[in-house]
Structure 1
Amino acid sequence: MNLPENSHRRDFLKLGALAGLGLGLSAVPSAEAKPDPRDLKLLSASDISATRPRPAGNKPVWDLTTKPTEKVRCGFIGLNRGRGHVNSAANIPFAEVVAVCDIVEQRAKSAAENVKKKTGKEPAMYFGDENVWEKMIARDDIDVVYVATPWEWHVPMALKAMEHGKHVFIEVSAAVTVDECWQLVDMSEKTQRHCAIIENCCYGEEELFVLNLARQGFFGDLKHAECAYIHNLAGGVLWSLGSEGDWRRDYHRFMDGNLYPTHGLGPVAQYLNIGRGDAFKFVVSVSSPEFNLTQFRDKHQPNKGKHKDEKFVCGDMNTSIIKTQLGRTIMIQHDVVSPRPYSRINALCGTKATFFGYPGRLAVDADSGHPLLKGAKVNSHEWTFEKEKLTAFMKENQHPLIRKIGELGKKVGGHGGMDFVMNYRMLDCLRQGITPDMTVYDAADWSSILEISAKSVKDGSMPIQCPDFTRGGWKTIKPLGIVS
């Protein structure tokens, strides 16, 4: 999104960095220093949709290989969400936690202490200054930098880390705007460093099970998927000072669209080979009215009424439809304020089978004749596999990664083990010198839906064409296989 010259984006960046890295409230700028939502302007539809030419000298990185290494040396910026990644790395034998960074001294010391308990070696600590992360990424003994800070800092930190020759793993969403997505792609191609989004939901047991079946052709011809991020945060996280409440709620003031697309979209994009044989074509998006944040604030006056003058513009439920180049459709929703159970939907529909998550259910066409069915009864009014039957079927058809390290992941922890499985696999890719499962093109494709959906909503739900971050490469890039 383009900002006018007199905008307060710099103040917002500073605020986000201070809050997300854990700075005490006394150092956080006052509410008056925050940007006015009217200062923020979306790109024009033509600028959003334009596929920008590759800068001279840049080369694609979708099949980038690097020198294998026995030990992958890691540095971590942001130890609120990042502490989970530190814990994963400390439990991976071929990974080394070299350095940890957070503005809050206690967070850095706590993370370092936990690493020392697990590995016997204390990592270097960086804390106490909003720019101290720049000292960490300048080290010459770090291979990959994890960026787990507020969204506004993802791109500036990733760009500088790549300039210093580091690979980068960025928390979700990787970027806020389409322009930022292009910056990540161009810098990755310029420096020939991996810049991967670390979308842990791609490594959930259910998601890997569906991916496994899809790659085996179990679903037949794939035609439709549904996904979401539905998670009621209205009474907690969005108001928590000293944490995400210092910055995440602000996006509900600035943008009306899907503010957090990748948890649901990442897995279904992999099922459909987005960026690897298919690509997003256009997005149509609609939003409901905004009610819940305003009503909760007015009733409960969180933080002693500090937020009484905030105006929220993001509709409680955003629903977007993505059309792909091959004609498939994806329905994606965002709702973090309504009284509903958590769901990412995680649905995939093909000519031979359909899966829906939350709870998991699998329906199979009676004429599919797939050997995995083994005589299971099939009719049009019941799910072929659900509850105990689905559990047994999933166990018989586990993804190789789950079979290999799934139980270890549950013991180490992190969103039921998916964090560990993801970090193990992504770091193992660097160890082997192969391209990670999630690339900078995935980071851009999945994250760009934030601004694209907001632009569609603003333009009366008109279709907004999606840019091609691979610059035509999606037509020939090999699909993601059944990795092990």
Structure 2
Amino acid sequence: MKDKINIAMIGLGGRGSGLMEMILNNAKDVEVAAVCDLYEDRREAAANKVEQERGKRPAAFARYEDVLAMTEVDAVVIGASWAAHIDIAVAAMEAGKYVASEVGGAYSIQECWKLVETYERTKTPIMLMENCCYGRDEMMVMNMVKQGLFGEIVHCSGGYLHDLRDEIAGGEENRHYRLQEYIHRNCENYPTHEIGPIAQVLDINRGNRMLSLVSVASKASGMQDYIKRKKGEDHPLAGTRFHQGDIVTTIIRCARGETITITLDTTLPRSYSRGFTVRGTRGMFMEDNQSVFIDGQHDEYHFDWKSQWGNAESYYEQYDHPVWKKFVNDGVKGGHGGMDWLVFEDFFESVKTGKPTPIDVYDMAVWMSISALSEDSISLGGHPVAFPDFTNGRWVTRR
């Protein structure tokens, strides 16, 4: 087991630089040996930050290939644009570096297979850094499911429900990749925040798998309306046609018979939510009103459920996940309510011990494949599209 590890940060925009700062502040046994970004100002700012915090200036590169040539680097953290994730991840696995990849969707099924095939050949672990799998509510619900509180699970739903109009509209000046994604593509482009926790509830790749999906997209009106109203009729994007539908709805069938509904809703005015909902034969959890309904306990509130909104908090004492009990006791740290730190804590532990990552290449491939499959389904008018079995049948016995 290693006492200290050296990492490289690849991609230093808003997310990458934020993660680096969290690591510098909280992981004293992790050294940032290199920083990498195509933009000189970003990599110089990152190098300055590391030197300021740790007293030693990291190597700074524009090319990720130069980072991967550094023998002292144990692992890479990929926070670059979505389109670059898999290419960098594959190259890093080839170089024998543990990989922490930020989330996003795949552009083709072929590149998902490339991830799997590279891992199986090199045996270099990779982890999709889906922080929502480490949310307090998500982990509590997982605990409830495993203890049978909701009975047999029948259906789950969730979404990425986040008004991103300002971020997308500012893509040119802020050098943010999301703008071009919304102009050119039409798919479920960000599925893993909701599908990660749902997949864990339903044992996907570990006794269950996703069989097929159907996706449909609404028209795309939100961005053009927003830009004209907020930026003006003469704004360069005012006449741009956005292909990304304002609402994308995807329904997934699973091998054990469960269904999943996920929703992408990012270009219309709304409040933030991930809409995490779990339905079983004996009860349910609903994120949007923070409630738990248990058969036989809450029947009298059937027509007056509003009085029970927020009751999920009362279940922490009995069902809070052990990871979160310890985390709360020790002091919550890191972004997004602490889940950013927990996902990285698990990754760093894997790097130090040489053990497999808890969210592995097969999870990464199937979760990310939803974007590519949904794009096909939408283009075919909502036709069902089959999921590949990235485990080649091992989902039956994997645990």
Query: TM-score, length-normalised on structure 2?
Result: 0.92
| 2:2 counterpart of 1:72 | no
Offset of 1:176 from its aligned partner?
2.5
Offset of 1:180 from its aligned partner?
1.2
- The CA distance in 2 between the partners of 1:420 and 1:239, in whole Å, is 28
Offset of 1:89 from its aligned partner?
2.6
Among 443, 451, 458, which residue is 2:364 paired with? 443
- Residue in structure 1 matched with residue 160 of structure 2 by the alignment: 229
- The CA distance in 2 between the partners of 1:302 and 1:74, in whole Å, is 44
- Residue in structure 1 matched with residue 122 of structure 2 by the alignment: 191
- The CA distance in 2 between the partners of 1:164 and 1:84, in whole Å, is 26
SS in 2 for 1:305: coil
Distance 1:242 1:93, change over 3 A: same
- Residue in structure 2 matched with residue 463 of structure 1 by the alignment: 384
Matched ranges for 1:81-96 at <5 A: 81-90=15-24, 91-96=26-31
Native 8 Å contact 2:47 2:60 kept in 1:
no
- The CA distance in 1 between the partners of 2:45 and 2:329, in whole Å, is 26
Extract structure 1 runs of 4+ deviating beyond 6 A: none
- The CA distance in 2 between the partners of 1:282 and 1:301, in whole Å, is 41
Native 8 Å contact 1:355 1:363 kept in 2:
yes
Amino acid at match of 1:423: F
Distance 1:408 1:291, change over 3 A: farther
- Residue in structure 2 matched with residue 45 of structure 1 by the alignment: none
Offset of 1:304 from its aligned partner?
6.2
Distance 1:303 1:432, change over 3 A: farther
| 2:364 counterpart of 1:430 | no
- The CA distance in 2 between the partners of 1:263 and 1:353, in whole Å, is 23
- Residue in structure 2 matched with residue 394 of structure 1 by the alignment: 316
Distance 1:386 1:197, change over 3 A: farther
Among 338, 343, 347, which residue is 1:417 paired with? 338
Aligned residues: 396
Offset of 1:277 from its aligned partner?
0.8
Native 8 Å contact 1:222 1:348 kept in 2:
yes
Distance 1:377 1:348, change over 3 A: closer
| 2:294 counterpart of 1:364 | yes
Deviations 1:139-166 (A, max 9, x none): 0111111111011111111111111111
Offset of 1:301 from its aligned partner?
4.2
- The CA distance in 2 between the partners of 1:456 and 1:419, in whole Å, is 32
- The CA distance in 1 between the partners of 2:375 and 2:138, in whole Å, is 27
Q: Which runs of no fewer than 5 residues in structure 1 stay unpaired?
A: 1-67, 367-375, 479-484
- The CA distance in 2 between the partners of 1:136 and 1:303, in whole Å, is 44
Amino acid at match of 2:45: S
- The CA distance in 2 between the partners of 1:174 and 1:116, in whole Å, is 33
Deviations 1:289-344 (A, max 9, x none): 11111222333447962224432122110101000011100000001101111111
- Residue in structure 2 matched with residue 404 of structure 1 by the alignment: 326
Amino acid at match of 1:161: A
Matched ranges for 1:44-59 at <5 A: none
Identity %: 33
Native 8 Å contact 2:106 2:370 kept in 1:
no
Amino acid at match of 2:56: E
- Residue in structure 1 matched with residue 195 of structure 2 by the alignment: 265
- The CA distance in 1 between the partners of 2:306 and 2:185, in whole Å, is 41
Native 8 Å contact 1:85 1:423 kept in 2:
no
Structure 1 range deviating more: 399-408 or 164-173? 399-408
SS in 2 for 1:338: coil
| 2:142 counterpart of 1:211 | yes
Amino acid at match of 1:349: R
Offset of 1:124 from its aligned partner?
1.2
- The CA distance in 1 between the partners of 2:391 and 2:121, in whole Å, is 14
- Residue in structure 2 matched with residue 147 of structure 1 by the alignment: 78
- Residue in structure 2 matched with residue 342 of structure 1 by the alignment: 272
- The CA distance in 2 between the partners of 1:397 and 1:190, in whole Å, is 40
Native 8 Å contact 2:105 2:369 kept in 1:
no
Over aligned residues, Cα RMSD in angstroms?
A: 2.3
- Residue in structure 1 matched with residue 205 of structure 2 by the alignment: 275
Offset of 1:73 from its aligned partner?
2.1
Deviations 1:356-402 (A, max 9, x none): 10231110111xxxxxxxxx655334559955542232244221221
Offset of 1:84 from its aligned partner?
2.6
Offset of 1:418 from its aligned partner?
1.1
- The CA distance in 1 between the partners of 2:330 and 2:5, in whole Å, is 20
Amino acid at match of 1:359: N
- Residue in structure 2 matched with residue 352 of structure 1 by the alignment: 282
Deviations 1:112-169 (A, max 9, x none): 4444454x34251314x3xx22111110111111111011111111111111111111
Distance 1:354 1:384, change over 3 A: farther
- The CA distance in 2 between the partners of 1:240 and 1:388, in whole Å, is 37
Offset of 1:477 from its aligned partner?
0.5
Offset of 1:102 from its aligned partner?
2.0
Amino acid at match of 1:390: A
Native 8 Å contact 1:237 1:244 kept in 2:
no
Q: Which runs of no fewer than 5 residues in structure 2 stay unpaired?
A: none
Deviations 1:236-295 (A, max 9, x none): 3442334354x2122223222211111111111111111111100000111111111122
- The CA distance in 2 between the partners of 1:264 and 1:242, in whole Å, is 30
Query: TM-score, length-normalised on structure 1?
Result: 0.77
| 2:219 counterpart of 1:298 | no
Amino acid at match of 1:399: H
Native 8 Å contact 1:144 1:167 kept in 2:
yes
Native 8 Å contact 2:188 2:375 kept in 1:
yes
Native 8 Å contact 1:72 1:143 kept in 2:
yes
Distance 1:218 1:433, change over 3 A: farther
SS in 1 for 2:352: helix
Matched ranges for 1:66-145 at <5 A: 68-80=1-13, 81-90=15-24, 91-118=26-53, 120-127=54-61, 129=62, 132-145=63-76
- The CA distance in 1 between the partners of 2:49 and 2:67, in whole Å, is 19
Offset of 1:452 from its aligned partner?
0.8
SS in 2 for 1:295: helix
Distance 1:225 1:335, change over 3 A: same
- The CA distance in 2 between the partners of 1:262 and 1:421, in whole Å, is 17
Native 8 Å contact 1:261 1:446 kept in 2:
yes
- Residue in structure 1 matched with residue 216 of structure 2 by the alignment: 286
Distance 1:302 1:205, change over 3 A: farther
Native 8 Å contact 1:146 1:169 kept in 2:
yes
